[in-house]
Amino acid sequence: MAKTLVKPRVSAKTKAARPPLYKVILLNDDFTPREFVVQVLKAVFRMGAERAYAVMLTAHRRGVCVIAVYTRDVAETKAKEATELGRQNGYPLAFTTEKEN
Ligand code: TYC
């Protein structure tokens, strides 16, 4: 009696590609008060006081500090919002975004 060959079904489900992530980077400057930088980090990036202070200090000492990674839209919106808060208060505080490798 001929055996019936049963082929296993191979799942054809394709997983959605993960969207690329973007870093938000804090840039040091000589004018923005440290306390103001900390306030912005807490307000826009939802950091606790200690983390915000540590991030501010890293940017102050090294020139830049990566704050967080988000999808492109979120990263760009937060960087813009945070930079705008500085402008509204007369400070040159700057945040940029960069695609993660
Ligand atoms: N360098 C600023 C000062 O000495 C403080 C500062 C820290 C500004 C981090 C920006 O991203 C920054 N007042």
Ligand 1, atom 13, residue with closest C-alpha = 33
Domains of the chain in sequence order:
21-99 (3.30.1390.10)
Q: Does pTM top 0.95 for this prediction?
A: no
User: In 1-101, at which residue ranges do the beta strands (DSSP E only) sit?
Assistant: 21-27, 64-71, 94-99
- The two structure tokens encoding residue 100: 């993660």
Mutate to test the pocket of ligand 1, among 31, 37, 47 (most ligand atoms within 8 A of CB): 37
Distance CA 59, CA 45 (A): 15
Asked whether 73 and 22 are in contact (CB, 8 A), the reply is no
pLDDT in tens, 62-91: 999 999 999 999 999 999 999 999 999 999
Q: Is the CB of 20 under 6 A from ligand 1?
A: no
Question: What is the model's pLDDT at position 4?
Answer: 72
Distance CA 54, CA 60 (A): 10
Residue 14 pLDDT greater than 90, yes or no: no
